[in-house]
C-alpha cells in the first residue's frame, strides 16, 4: 500500500467529512463488486454515515448469502438524492458500471474510484486503482488495514467473496501472495472460505451445464493465433433454458485448456450484441490491450469486449453478421 499511502489517507479524510454516501457496483454484478460494495457499506454505516448502495441490476440469487446484500438497491430514484461522496467499486468506467447517464443528474460530489482493472482511466476525483490486486475487495482490504480498522465477520465474508470469485477459488493467474495472506486473515475474522466457495463457484445446474456442453462441442483451435475459441448463441440460451451466469463461468473454466495461450468465448447477447470474453495464463500476453482493439478492456489476464452483430455458424465456419 506504500505507494498508495497518500490516496488512502485522502480517501479516509474525505469519507470522515462526508455524511451522505452512495456506493455503486457495476451492472451484471459479480461477487467482487458486490463484496466490495457491502464491506464498505457496513464499515461506513458503523461510522454513523448515511449510506446508499446501488447496482443497476438486481443481486443474483446466489449472492443473497452476503451479509447486508438486501441493502443493495436498483431503483433509479437513488439518483434523485444528494450525496457528498460517490464511490464506484470494481468499475473500469462509469459506462461499464452502467451509471454514466444516471449520474448526470448529480452535482457537487467527490467521486472515489476504487478498482483493479488495468483499463481504468482514473476517472474519479480520488483514484485508488491497484492493477496488481486480485480483486477490488483485495484493494479494500488493504485500505482497511491501512486505516487500522477492525474487520467484522460480516465485512470479512463480503471481502472474502470477492477474492474467491475473482481468483476462481485462488487458482487463476490473478491469485497472488497478498490475496492469500488477506484471505487467511479474513478466516481469522470469521469468513467461512469453503462455504463461500461452495455457494459461489460450486453451484451449477443442469440447464447451465447443457449450455456448457454445446460450447464444449464447438471448441476450435486456431494455431496461428495460439487461440482456442467457442461460442454460445441466443438460441442456445433459449433451448437450454440457461441464464446469463452460465456463460460467465465458461471462460473461467476453459482456463484448464492446455492447447493454446488465449481462450476466447463469444456470446450472443440480446439486441444484436456479441460479447467476447478473453482469458490467458501467460505472463507475456496483455489481454486488456487485445480487448482494447475491439473497444473493450479489463485485466491483463482476463478481459472482454462487445461488438454489434449476430453469430452465424455453418459448415464449421463461424462468422459475425
Ligand atoms: Mn473484480
List CB-based neighbours of ion ligand 1 within 5 Å: 32, 90, 135-136, 166
The enclosing domain of 311 has a CATH number of: 3.10.310.30
> Angle, nearest 10°, between helix axes 136-146 and 177-188?
70
Could you tell me the distance, in angstroms and rounded to a whole number, from the CA of residue 5 to the centre of ligand 1?
21
Same domain, 46 and 165: yes
Same domain, 161 and 57: yes
CA 280, CA 287: separation in Å to the nearest integer?
A: 8
Same domain, 233 and 187: no
Q: Is the pLDDT of residue 204 over 80?
A: no
Tell me which residue range forms the domain holding 96: 2-201
Same domain, 103 and 250: no
Cα separation of the two ends of the chain:
47
Which of the pair, 291 or 314, is modelled with greater confidence?
291
Could you tell me the distance, in angstroms and rounded to a whole number, from the CA of residue 319 to the centre of ligand 1?
31
pTM of the full structure? 0.83
Same domain, 158 and 300: no
Question: Tell me, what's the pLDDT at 1?
Answer: 63
Could you tell me the distance, in angstroms and rounded to a whole number, from the CA of residue 88 to the centre of ligand 1?
12
Q: What is the pLDDT of residues 69-81, one digit of tens each?
A: 999 999 999 999 9
Same domain, 66 and 159: yes
Q: Is the pLDDT of residue 65 over 90?
A: yes
CA 117, CA 131: separation in Å to the nearest integer?
A: 6
Could you tell me the distance, in angstroms and rounded to a whole number, from the CA of residue 238 to the centre of ligand 1?
28
Q: Is the pLDDT of residue 287 over 80?
A: yes
Our count of domains for the chain comes to: 2
Could you tell me the distance, in angstroms and rounded to a whole number, from the CA of residue 83 to the centre of ligand 1?
25
Minimum mean pLDDT range among 90-94, 222-226, 227-231, 248-252: 248-252
Please state, for a pLDDT cut of 70, what percent of the chain lies above it: 99
Same domain, 47 and 167: yes
Question: Tell me, what's the pLDDT at 112?
Answer: 98
Same domain, 214 and 80: no
Same domain, 302 and 270: yes
Question: Tell me, what's the pLDDT at 34?
Answer: 98
CA 25, CA 96: separation in Å to the nearest integer?
A: 10
Amino acid at each position: 500500500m506504500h505507494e498508495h499511502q497518500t490516496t488512502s489517507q485522502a480517501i479516509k479524510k474525505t469519507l470522515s467529512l462526508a455524511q451522505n454516501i452512495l456506493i455503486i457496483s457495476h451492472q451484471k454484478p459479480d461477487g467482487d463488486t458486490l463484496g466490495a460494495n457491502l464491506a464498505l457499506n457496513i464499515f461506513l454505516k458503523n461510522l454513523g454515515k448515511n449510506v446508499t448502495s446501488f447496482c443497476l441490476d438486481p443481486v443474483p440469487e446466489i449472492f443473497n448469502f452476503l451479509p447486508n446484500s438486501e441493502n443493495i438497491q436498483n431503483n433509479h430514484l437513488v439518483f434523485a438524492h444528494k450525496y457528498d461522496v460517490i464511490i464506484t467499486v470494481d468499475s473500469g468506467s462509469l459506462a461499464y458500471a452502467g451509471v454514466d447517464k444516471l449520474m448526470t443528474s448529480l452535482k457537487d460530489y467527490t467521486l472515489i474510484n476504487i478498482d483493479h482493472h488495468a483499463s481504468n482511466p482514473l476517472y474519479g476525483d480520488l483514484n485508488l486503482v491497484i492493477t496488481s490486486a486480485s480483486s477490488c475487495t483485495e484493494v479494500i482490504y488493504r485500505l482497511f488495514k491501512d486505516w487500522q480498522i477492525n474487520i467484522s465477520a460480516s465485512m470479512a465474508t463480503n471481502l472474502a467473496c470477492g477474492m474467491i470469485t475473482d481468483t476462481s477459488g485462488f487458482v487463476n493467474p490473478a491469485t497472488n501472495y497478498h490475496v492469500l495472506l488477506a484471505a487467511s486473515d479474513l478466516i481469522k475474522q470469521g469468513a467461512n472460505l469453503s462455504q463461500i466457495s461452495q455457494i459461489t463457484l460450486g453451484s451449477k445446474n443442469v440447464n447451465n451445464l447443457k449450455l456448457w456442453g454445446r460450447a464444449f462441442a464447438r471448441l476450435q483451435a486456431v494455431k496461428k493465433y495460439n487461440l482456442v475459441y467457442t461460442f454460445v448463441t441466443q438460441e442456445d440460451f433459449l433451448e437450454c433454458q440457461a441464464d446469463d451466469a452460465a456463460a460467465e463461468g465458461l471462460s473461467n473454466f476453459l482456463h484448464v485448456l492446455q492447447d493454446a495461450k488465449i481462450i476466447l468465448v463469444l456470446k450472443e447477447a440480446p439486441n444484436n450484441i456479441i460479447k467476447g470474453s478473453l482469458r490467458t495464463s501467460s505472463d507475456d500476453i496483455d489481454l486488456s490491450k487485445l480487448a482494447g482493439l475491439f473497444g473493450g478492456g479489463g485485466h491483463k489476464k482476463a478481459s472482454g469486449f462487445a461488438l454489434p452483430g449476430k453469430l452465424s455458424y455453418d459448415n464449421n465456419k463461424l462468422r459475425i453478421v
